[in-house]
Every structure is written in structure tokens, then in C-alpha cells.
Amino acid sequence: MTNSTGRRVTANLALSLDGRYNGPGGANDFGAFSPYVTTEVARNHLTRIHEGATTALLGRVNAEGFLGYWPSVAVDENADPRDRGYAKWLVDTEKVVFSTTLSETPWEHTRVVNAPAARVVADLKTTGEGDILVNSSASVIKALLSADLLDRLYLMIFPAIVGGGQRLFDDGLPSSKWKLAHQETGDLGEIAVVYDRVR
């Protein structure tokens, strides 16, 4: 058995009321989510998720989307300070991108891995310090839920039923209990929640 440093594995994702992280139009269908992503509650939540995190885990698609957008926010003096703070963190922090197709790392402070998420997380937990954040990458989150390796969930719940799209919590996950660590409700009915795994 390998030694663990006690690093916490966290994950963040936005969900509709019917538990979906995108709409029926496919992986890029976020139309129902867009009214809520720039609210005060959502921006406060964005700050919360990366506090204490020193490693970001990303799937390739998310990495390409995020790293095509956030670096410009990091240097935009007119951007919301919370957005800039997150953007600077994402640019500067250690990033691990899961991919079967990338052969080189197109971003600074990044390494590409082609390995099961559970194994990568187990290796990361043996060195370093700070939280390991799975950054809005549902495929990685699902794999770690299946392996019961997540310690904290940061969820934004948006008051919309999208009626189709991909769900985070698939049937067949191992049962688990979670404790509410934080909640905040916005004027539009959006809710930021933080759940810690009870072991």
C-alpha cells in the first residue's frame, strides 16, 4: 500500500434540477445554464472551488475549452475580480489532462496522461499538498465517484429542467453518504452547495 499525504480530492460541476450537466443538444448545450453562471452566487462559488487546490484535473475537451478562454480573463483588468482570480489560478497551477489523443502538452504547467483517473489520483495523493480539484470534467468525476475517491463535491444547482442531456449520477454508483458543508442561494433560485464525503 502506498503512503498518502492526506490530500483531498474535490470536484465541481453545474447541474440542472433534473441532474444533467448539459442539455439535450449534446456536450456543448449549456443554453439553459447561461442565465446563472455570472450571478453573485456562481462567482462566489468559483472562488470557493479553487481555494486550497494546487492541482487541477481536466478531461481533454474541457482543457481545450478552458485554456482557450480563461488565460485572456487572467489579464483582463475589466473582468470581475473573482473571475480573474480563478483564471490566474488555472493558468498558474499544476494541470493534469486526461487524453488518449494528445501527444504533447499545449499549455504551461500541464502534463497529459492516458491512464485511469483512479490510478492517477492515487499517485497524486502520495506527493505534494493541497486539494486535487477535478475541474468541471464530468467523465473524470464519474470515474472517481465509481471508485469512491471523491472527498468533496462543489455543485451549482440551476433552477431549470432541461429534459435531456447527460447525467452526473448514473445508476450503479456505490452508495455513499455526504454532509452539507456550505450552501448559498441566489436571487434567481440558483444554489451553490458543498458536500463532504462521510467515511
d(CA 196, CA 199): 9
- pLDDT by residue (tens digit) across 134-154? 999 999 999 999 999 999 999
Give the model's pLDDT for residue 4: 67
What is the rounded average pLDDT of the residues 78-105?
94
What is the rounded average pLDDT of the residues 25-54?
93
What is the rounded average pLDDT of the residues 173-187?
97
Q: What is the 3-state secondary structure (H, E, C) of the chain?
A: CCCCCCCCEEEEEEEECCCECCCCCCCCCCCCCCCCCCCHHHHHHHHHHHCCEEEEEEEHHHHHHHHHHHHHHHCCCCCCHHHHHHHHHHHHCEEEEECCCCCCCCCCCEEEECCCHHHHHHHHCCCCCCEEEEECCHHHHHHHHHCCCCCEEEEEEECCCCCCCCECCCCCCCCCEEEEEEEEECCCCCEEEEEEEEC
What is the rounded average pLDDT of the residues 75-104?
94
What is the rounded average pLDDT of the residues 25-38?
90
Is residue 68 pLDDT above 80, yes or no?
yes
What is the rounded average pLDDT of the residues 28-47?
92
d(CA 183, CA 131): 20
pLDDT band at 1 (very low <50, low <70, confident <90, very high): very low
pLDDT band at 28 (very low <50, low <70, confident <90, very high): confident
**Cβ pair 48, 12 in contact under 8 A:** no
What is the rounded average pLDDT of the residues 73-90?
95
What is the rounded average pLDDT of the residues 119-130?
94
